[in-house]
Amino acid sequence: MYRHLEHRLAERLRQCLERRYLGVALPKVVVEQPPKVELGDFAIPLFPFAKPLRSAPLKIAETIRAEIGSIEGIAEMQVAPPGYLNVRIDRAWLAAALAADRKAAPDLSHGKILVEHSSINPNKAAHIGHLRNAILGDTFVRMERYAGREVDVQNYIDNTGVQVADVVVGFTHLEKKSRAEIEALARQPRFDYYCWDLYARVSQWYAEDKQNLGTRLSTLHALEEGGNETAAIAELISTAVLRRHLETMDRLDIEYDFLPRESEILHLHFWDAAFTKLKEAGVLTFENEGKNKGCWVMRRAGTADVARPLSPAKAGSGKANGREVPDDSGDQLDDRIVAIPIRPGVDIRASEIAEENQKVIVRSNGTVGYVGKDIAYHMWKFGLLGRDFGYRKSYRYPNQHDCWISTSPDDKNAEPTHPHFGDVAEIYNVIDARQSEAQSTVIEALRGLGHDEAADHYTHFSYEMVALTPRCAAELGYTLSEEDKTRSYIEVSGRKGFGVKADDLLDQLIASAKNEVDSRHPQLPDDDRRQIATQIAIGALRYFMLKYTKPSVIAFDFKDALSFEGETGPYAQYAVVRATSIFRKAEIDPETFAQNLSGNVTVADLAKYLTEDGANEIWELWLGASKTSYIIDQCIATREPAYLAKHVFQLAQLFNTFYHGHPILSEPEETRKRFLLATVGVVRRELLRALAVMGISVPPVM
RNA sequence: GGGCCCGUAGCUCAAACGGAUAGAGCAUCGGAUUUCUAAUCCGAGGGUUGCAGGUUCGAUUCCUGCCGGGCCUACCA
């Protein structure tokens, strides 16, 4: 509603100015929201027009006001110093449209969207960092679907490599378990917790004696070779842990459509196809000398060569693994080439790319690195690779929705008929900010291949990490260094087992909510109370992860995360529950009522009650309720779901104030009572919608 | 060294394109209608937006330089 009105206003204003000032190049008309309702509903600053039109902003505003004529849905315009044109909406018009719930036709002309999120390494339990990722991703998916777009959700599974090998080492060497014993453990309810601890123990074991790293290396080789006991154990572990991740996310109503696995990208030789194309296009160059001698390299994204001496390369540490990035300073796999200091003044440009700007894609031993595989995978996403995965069903959600997983096409379980994944128009990769460089490299590779359009529709949906406050770390029983105690936050580390597990947090939230529900509604059956507590817990968690803007590091603290008061999910849920209880008491079904709002309140009544003295407060409520689509558009355009969280909170806040100040069922005047009920109905409907887009459902009572 | 991000109230965070008196929550203190449930509402205190310049009608926002903090920067996966 609000959205269409805004567009119409901007368009009419532009036309008006063009007519009045023929042949003058005009700046874009921006429509803002005045700081207070008393000033109006839209504000157009006219300062940018002063210079091109050679006229004072106030004068331009006056001209527009006099000449623009009438616009459907706009009641009046006022000129406000120092240079605004303030516009009032025709309140009855907007309210009637909102009551009728007229919807715009969805725009399906853009093609399919692919959102990749979660992408947790299948070697340990999911933690709060993964929760932020999955909740951001899932909410973005819901927003795009709300806007009418077709979306596929993928969760990339890095089931090969060091992090899985480490857990295998833990089982086979530290615990000396047989495959059958591991299989039995993998059937335990929280096998991922077991792996979490084991993973940390293995890291410790490596640190104790560097000799132990030999075991890791040989395990890794066995894994890569495949067809042996070690590979079978790795497969069984990663599959079991993946299943746990799917269950954990399912608790939060997060579902996936397809799980592409790195093992298939390897075995189906996606890379070979990509490699050929990359060489042909000259994206990769072969190094004949220098530190990267014998490698195929690419220019690091965002770098340009200038003839200047290099500073000696610094020895890095830590290790990355797939979508997850270094989480410690371990250097156990330290078999890299030691950087050779370069004398100042020496031109080291052995190839066209300065050494410091080279990103190794294919190693001198001929094997491809992570970024290379990612390039191939993204060519597949855009349908540019000429190869496809095999598919089979993997996980069925309680709502009967199937999640598919990649497999080899000649796998006997591969299904000949399957949904068509990949070959999409637009992609969003929800991956934290630490992966910016790798993501940019993939985009540049696509560009280098001549796929500019694909590159332009590739979005790294970047956000900052979740860290722990020192207090939180202490509560969890970790001993902190003096330095750590002074920090505002400390990075979590899966390798050290340092972090808050997703299921633990959810369990705590549910337990805490259950306590409240138990004391408030002792008469309800326990199952109902548990269900309500779960909804509240999910609401609290999802809201918590969404209320921070993406570039902000979340310094996690149980006190804030476990709060159900103030700016939280339960606050918004509670507003809806109060609205529902009004209807319950009135013995009106709120859904039926919402569907026939226009039949319950006339335009004349709306006009009367929304414009009388003191109506501003209620008008703000209608205005806020009309903004859902507008806000979601903003969120999509800026890729910032936090705006929706803010909006939901503000609307709930307005409603709570209204609820407190306006007794509804005891209202003596019948038409006014119906109007107030309509207000409650509209706000309730829009709050429920906005919350649903955030993945938050509302219990019947709280 | 280079790249990216952050610095706003005691704490945690907002402020879309530069706009009107920089806003919320938590915490603190003081209050609230026997009503549609107080997971609520009302009020109070709390700010030189890290520092210094610049751009302009106007800067928390853009530019430059400092200060402080974080992340990334391997032939790993």
Same domain flag for A184 and A317: no
Q: Return the nearest residue to B38, CA–C1'.
A: A660
The answer to whether A259 and A390 are in contact (CB under 8 A) is no
Q: How far is the CA of A370 from the C1' of B77 (A)?
A: 6
Say how far A562 CA is from B46 C1', in Å. Answer: 26
Between CA A694 and CA A287 the distance in angstroms is 49
- Chain A span 419-448 residues with beta carbon within 7 Å of strand B: 433-434, 436-438
Q: Tell me: the pLDDT tens digits for A475-517?
A: 888 888 877 877 888 888 888 888 999 999 999 999 999 999 9
Coil, strand or helix: which one is A393?
Answer: strand
Give residue numbers, 579 to 598 of A, with CB < 7 Å from strand B: 581-582, 585
Q: Say which residues have a Cβ less than 8 Å from residue A130's Cβ, sequence separation at least 6.
A: A118, A120, A245, A502
Looking at residue A322, its pLDDT comes to 59
User: A544 lies in which domain range?
Assistant: 470-561
Alpha helices of A495-627 — where are they, by DSSP H?
502-520, 526-546, 558-561, 569-586, 590-595, 597-600, 603-611, 616-625
Nucleotide with smallest C1' distance to residue A664 CA: B36
State whether the beta carbon of A578 lies below 7 angstroms from any atom of strand B: yes
User: Are residues A487 and A554 both part of a single domain?
Assistant: yes
Q: Is the CB of A234 under 7 A from strand B?
A: no
Tell me: do A622 and A498 sit in the same domain: no
Residues A257 and A151 in one domain: yes
In this structure, is the CB of residue A662 within 7 Å of any atom belonging to strand B?
A: yes
Q: Does residue A415 approach strand B to less than 7 Å at its CB?
A: no
Find which nucleotide's C1' atom is closest to A40's CA.
Answer: B20
A189 and A244 in a common domain:
yes
A95 assigned to some structural domain? no
Q: Which of A538, A561, A584 is the C-terminal boundary of a domain?
A: A561
Q: Which long-range contacts (CB under 8 A, 24 or more apart) does A286-291 make?
A: A287/A350, A287/A351, A287/A358, A288/A350, A288/A351, A289/A350, A290/A348, A290/A350, A290/A351, A290/A355, A291/A337, A291/A339, A291/A340, A291/A355
Strand B at less than 7 A from CB of A336: yes
Nearest-angstrom CA–CA distance, A508 and A504 = 6
Q: Are residues A536 and A580 part of one domain? A: no
Tell whether A557 and A567 lie within a shared domain. Answer: no
Q: Å between A566 CA and B29 C1'?
A: 18
Query: Does residue A460 lie within any of the structural domains?
Result: no
Pairing of strands A42-45, A84-89: antiparallel
Strand B proximal residues, A:25-44, Cβ < 7 Å: 30-35, 39-40, 43
ipTM at complex level: 0.95
- Does A207 share its domain with A72? no
In the chain, the amino acid numbered A652 is A
Nucleic strand B within 7 A of Cβ A564: yes
Structure tokens at A211: 């000799």
Query: Six-digit token pair at A179?
Result: 């495959």
- Nearest nucleotide by C1' from A81 CA? B20
CA pair distance A683, A594, nearest whole angstrom: 10
For residue A10, give the 3-state DSSP assignment. helix
Q: Please count the structural domains in chain A.
A: 5
CB-to-strand B under 7 Å, chain A 70-109: 80, 82-84, 86
Nucleotide nearest the Cα atom of A370 (by C1'): B77
Do the domain assignments include residue A494?
Answer: yes
CA of A469 to C1' of B50 (A): 22
Are residues A160 and A213 located together in one domain of the fold?
yes
Q: Give CA–CA dist A549/A573, Å, rounded.
A: 21
Q: Which of A39, A68, A89 is the last residue of a domain?
A: A89
Question: What residue ranges of chain A have pLDDT lower than 50?
Answer: 306-321, 326-350
Contact between the CB of A356 and strand B at under 7 Å: yes
Indicate if CB(A288) is under 7 A from strand B.
no
CA of A306 to C1' of B44 (A): 61
User: Closest CA to B32 C1' — which residue?
Assistant: A660
Please indicate, yes or no, whether residues A517 and A392 belong to a single structural domain of this protein.
Answer: no
Asked whether residue A61 is domain-assigned, the answer is: yes
Same domain, A526 and A572: no
Q: Report the CATH number that the domain containing residue A600 is assigned in CATH.
A: 1.10.730.10
Is there a single domain that holds both residue A510 and residue A551? Answer: yes
- Residue A567 within any structural domain of the chain: yes
**CATH code for position A47:** 3.30.1360.70
Question: Could you give the CA distance from residue A305 to residue A299 in angstroms, rounded to a whole number?
Answer: 10
Instruction: Decide if A262 is inside a domain.
Output: yes
Residue A364 CB closer than 7 angstroms to strand B? yes
pTM: 0.93
Residue A332: predicted pLDDT: 36
Is the CB of residue A302 inside 7 Å of nucleic acid strand B?
yes
Whole-number pLDDT of residue A302: 73
Q: The domain spanning residue A196 has which CATH number? A: 3.40.50.620
Say how far A100 CA is from B11 C1', in Å.
Answer: 45
Q: What type of residue is A108?
A: L
A127 within a domain of the structure (yes/no): yes
**Protein A540 CA to nucleic acid B46 C1', in Å?**
28
Cis previous bond, A590, omega within 30: no
Rounded Cα–Cα distance for residues A431 and A686 (Å): 30
Helix axes A128-146, A526-546, angle to 10 degrees: 90
Instruction: Using the CA of A301, give the nucleotide whose C1' is nearest.
Output: B3
Question: What CA–CA distances, in Å, run from A464 to A550, A557, A610, A632?
Answer: 6, 16, 43, 21
What's the one-letter identity of residue A400? Q
| Closest-lying nucleotide for A311 based on CA to C1' | B1
> Residue A568 CA to nucleotide B25 C1', Å?
9
Last residue of some domain: A318, A341, A356? A356
| A377 occurs within a structural domain | no
| CA separation, residue A388 to residues A264, A349, A453, A527 (Å) | 10, 39, 21, 46
Which amino acid is it at A341?
P
Strand B footprint nucleotides (protein C-beta < 7 Å): 1-6, 12-17, 19-21, 24-27, 33, 35-42, 57-58, 69-77
Q: How far is Cα A213 from Cα A405, in angstroms, rounded to an integer?
A: 32
